[in-house]
Structure 1
């Protein structure tokens, strides 16, 4: 790192911030890798900044303020109020960015962001801390998302939990989170990107993402980012469709639910999220 920490921290603090979120197994990791492969964008991987680091800092500062409120033996200082903590949170975000800048040239960066799926349920806190932050919401057919999640998290789920019950919970969450995100994001810089569209037209959808973040849409940069974030590269050499249930990059396909779900399971998804699924074109082939 050629610059001192203080200088680099100041540089990254001055850049516009963005965040990526969506339901688990919706393609947020692919989007993060794609964005971070652009030389003008730094997108930190799953740090859980909004639901781990910020609450920890808030608790620490709140505890400090409470201890300062106790009558001291001598004249002392009062602790900061909650509404004074924004600069601390933003400074912590810049420190996180510095720690993960890797070999990127800070002179070329135009924006700094972070991806954690749960960011999508932290939007109010996110925009309270970063009023001008941009948000990318990655959306996937909930039937495919549920199947992928059930495979990925099976070892951590109760052994008696059946796939149909997991699908029930996942599709309800998909419907609720998407509607709530849209409500909170009204009037904000907010972009929805379908996982399926990113598969079908990667080059144009990547350009849309880069443009949304204010980065260059030069064709060579787009192709390089796509290649760097390809399924084959991320999975260690497997082709899309070559499944590895133990890998974070399981299969790399869309529409796999058709070969897996029963009619009864398909009806669960439609019952829980039918109108929004229809809006996104997920019911057009039923």
Structure 2
């Protein structure tokens, strides 16, 4: 033991003998933080998605309805038509799938594992609770969610809610791309609009091939909203209501942001047939296979939209 150490020990012993106090080394002002838990990549979380282990306890929503569509396909119009039904609540786009969960410490991850949950399970619980709150506040029976980007997670939606019902909203592919381009011509050149919207269309068609559901054609919806909504109600197993075509009389929340031409039409409660479909020779080569798959190249009598 060095001279300095001996001196410190002697002084410490003398102090304790005289005062009756014990001298100890001070601890750090801040305790050591727990090691963070493992952060999973979104793709890995999605790959781990599975149906609810105990549906009666894990899900509050019953038979939710998801409208899958590309952008600029009339999903806002369809939303307000459905929201005008006394049993259907269709809020503005919730983008709930962008809400993610992470375990910030290893003990949290271990606790969830002990409870039987992985990250995807906890995200599903959160999504279901958020959407159920929207429905509960409306006082209605069934929720209808129509965020266009949901099309990219159609498999996960069907996994999260095994009793979900799906509506596929389609429109002439070139009319979709053209409308997306015209919404912001400088920022969305036509070539980019074709590429961007085609990805939605391609994924939507994949969903149509794998999920049971009902297809609504935008051109038929605008030309005959009563007939189109009657068929949709029959698919959903609920009676059609005249209020659906009187949607201008109802409050549909903040629908005025980001929906372009539909604002005045929704306020007035009028649905007007769209402009004629593009001529076959106008359809870009990249969209021709989709236009053919959806029956548009062979349906020159249908009408298009804005």
Show CA shifts across 1:37-62 (max 9, x none).
10011122200112x12xx13xx2x4
The answer as to whether partners of 1:143 and 1:171 remain within 8 angstroms in 2 is no
The answer as to whether partners of 1:21 and 1:115 remain within 8 angstroms in 2 is yes
Partner of 1:162: 189
Aligned length: 229
* TM-score normalised by structure 2 residue count: 0.63
Partner of 1:193: 216
Higher radius of gyration, 1 or 2 = 2
User: Over aligned residue pairs, what C-alpha RMSD do you find?
Assistant: 3.5
Q: How far off its partner does 1:225 sit?
A: 1.2
Partner of 1:226: 245
* Partner of residue 260 from structure 2, selected from 226, 247, 250: 247
Partner of 2:203: 177
Tell me which of the two structures has the higher relative contact order, counting C-alpha pairs closer than 8 angstroms and 6 or more residues apart: 1
Show CA shifts across 1:56-109 (max 9, x none).
13xx2x434x3546xxxxxxx53336547537624543433424655x444xx2
Q: How far off its partner does 1:132 sit?
A: 1.6
Residue 79 in structure 1 maps to residue 98 in structure 2: no
Partner of 2:178: 147
Show CA shifts across 1:141-176 (max 9, x none).
111111211122446x2xxx532x134314632552
Q: Following the alignment from structure 2 to structure 1, what is the Cα–Cα distance between the partners of residues 89 and 193?
A: 34
Partner of 2:104: 63
* TM-score normalised by structure 1 residue count: 0.66
The answer as to whether partners of 2:66 and 2:166 remain within 8 angstroms in 1 is yes
Q: Following the alignment from structure 1 to structure 2, what is the Cα–Cα distance between the partners of residues 22 and 193?
A: 10
Q: Which runs of 5+ in 2 are unaligned?
A: 1-56, 266-271, 302-306
Partner of 1:74: none
Partner of 1:46: 93
Q: Which runs of 5+ in 1 are unaligned?
A: 1-9, 70-76, 237-244
Q: Following the alignment from structure 1 to structure 2, what is the Cα–Cα distance between the partners of residues 174 and 93?
A: 24
